[in-house]
Amino acid sequence: MAMAERFGTRWLPFRFAAAVVLLALMTDRAVLRAEATPIGINYGQIADNLPSPARVSWLLRSMQVSKVKLYDADPYVLSAFLDTGVEFVVGIGNENVSAMVDPAAARAWIQRHVQPYLPSTRITCITVGNEVFKGNDTALKASLLPAMQSVYQALAALGMQGRVNVTTAHSLDIMGSSFPPSAGAFRADVVPYMQPILSFLSMARSPFLINCYPYFAYKADPGNVPLEYVLFQPNAGVTDTNTKLNYDNMLYAQVDSVYAAIQALGHTDIDVKISETGWPSRGDPDEAGATLEYAGTYIGNLLQRIEMKQGTPLRPSVPIDVYVFALFNENLKPGPASERNYGLFYPDGTPVYNVGLQGYLPPMDYSRGTRKAVHLLALILIAVASIALSLS
């Protein structure tokens, strides 16, 4: 039956017009607050073919993404998100951690990279270093906590205490034991550093950030790690013999093992957030599981869990807080092919796989004066496409 016969010749234009008027009454930030995608996204830039930050701003906001994590404090990115309501985590790279021990250097860094953008750009967290305990640089490890303390004190001196958190992101290999989750414990060589860091996080009310990749476990032992368990697919799960809690996916087990390790050092007041997780869509021949199908399955099922506001078995009432890695495939990242293929999107804005994240990457840069008009047009186009699909 023809669409006009099903709905009447006047009904469809009326519905279209109503949708357009409704969207026209909404500002960028109102739409973002009302319908924000409940995930954060890591925006890495180790590539030579990425769109400009101004275009990326349109892409992320058309997806209704409300949280973005950077590995630096790129002024072009922060400027591109002025007055958008998007929340940012900015980073101090490992190469600059030792310098931040000097209170004057920490203060200067904040005055240059954070203070000029507040409050128009919502910078809510600073990560001091990334996966510091993964390497063998003892000087870097020793500098981490003093650098975090200097940054925290500088924020307080500049009147930003309580507005911007200070923390650091860890690799999961800080764990000496992670199974069963209740037996989670930090590596013995990490504990002397971790104990005072946890005390600092507790005092500052800052989160503990962990980078979790079930893919690595599957890649290392595909014959013994059930694919369903790492991809959030139906399975019997694994029961922790100590707590009797059942885990139907590896990510939640990893997070709860970190909670157990923190508790073993005397802290129960620190939230654990997943600062990175993802799955590569392509890899080298010896990289088991790095496929388009598995990547889409992992991210798609993870999104469903987040939208359900699920917590882990140990903390079921606390929804998991996740930053997906990464926004784009990054063609200059070193290492195996998988490292360059974690993106949700190709650099031209085409989705790598379909998990329901609709976005619009404009073909050119726009001035701030035309930001709202172009974003509104993108939202209208997405709404029209959704209406058309619902009527087909």
In this predicted model, what pLDDT tens digit does every residue of 257-274 receive, in sequence order?
999 999 999 999 999 999
Query: Within 13 Å of residue 82, how many CA atoms lie on the same side as its CB?
Result: 13
pLDDT at 21 over 60: no
Instruction: Indicate the angle between helix axes 138-157 and 191-204, nearest 10 degrees.
Output: 10
User: Average pLDDT of the chain?
Assistant: 89
In the DSSP assignment, the letter for residue 351 is: B
pLDDT at 373 over 70: no
The pLDDT of residue 7 is 36
Instruction: Tell the residue number behind the tokens 């190469």, with chain if given.
Output: 95
The pLDDT of residue 27 is 42
pLDDT at 3 over 60: no
What is the token pair recorded at 54? Answer: 């101004």
The pLDDT of residue 161 is 87
Q: Please give the full DSSP string across 132-195, using - where no structure is assigned.
A: GGGS--HHHHHHHHHHHHHHHHHHHHTT-TTTSEEEEEEEGGGEEE-SSGGG-EE-TTTHHHHH
- Residue type, position 53, single letter: P
pLDDT by residue (tens digit) across 82-98? 999 999 999 999 999 99
The pLDDT of residue 259 is 98
Q: Strand ranges (DSSP E) for 208-264?
A: 208-211, 238-239, 246-247
- Band (pLDDT 50/70/90 cuts) for residue 223 is very high
Give the residue with greater pLDDT, 335 vs 376: 335
pLDDT by residue (tens digit) across 307-345? 999 999 999 999 999 999 999 999 999 999 999 999 999
- Band (pLDDT 50/70/90 cuts) for residue 382 is low
Instruction: Indicate the angle between helix axes 28-35 and 371-391, nearest 10 degrees.
Output: 50
What share of the chain has pLDDT > 70, as a percent? 84
The closest of 131, 128, 65 to 98, measured between CA atoms, is 128
Contact indicator for 39, 308 with CB cutoff of 8 Å: no
Instruction: Indicate the angle between helix axes 53-62 and 371-391, nearest 10 degrees.
Output: 40
Contact indicator for 322, 40 with CB cutoff of 8 Å: yes
Instruction: Tell the residue number behind the tokens 């959704």, with chain if given.
Output: 386
Domains of the chain: 34-361 (3.20.20.80)
Cα 166 → chain centroid = 16
The whole model's pTM is what? 0.86
What is the token pair recorded at 34? Answer: 């009302």
The CA distances from residue 270 to 197, 292, 312, in Å, are 11, 36, 15
- Band (pLDDT 50/70/90 cuts) for residue 15 is very low
What average pLDDT score do residues 15-39 get? 47
Cα 112 → chain centroid = 24
Give just the sign of the alpha carbon dihedral 20, 24, 28, 33. negative
Would you please indicate which residues are annotated as catalytic (active-site) residues? 131, 276
What share of the chain has pLDDT > 90, as a percent? 80
Cβ contacts of residue 370 below 8 Å, gap of 6+?
Answer: none
The span from the CA of 145 to the CA of 139, in Å, is: 11
pLDDT at 125 over 70: yes
Tell the burial category of 311 from Cβ atoms under 10 Å away from its Cβ (0-12, 13-18, 19+).
Answer: middle
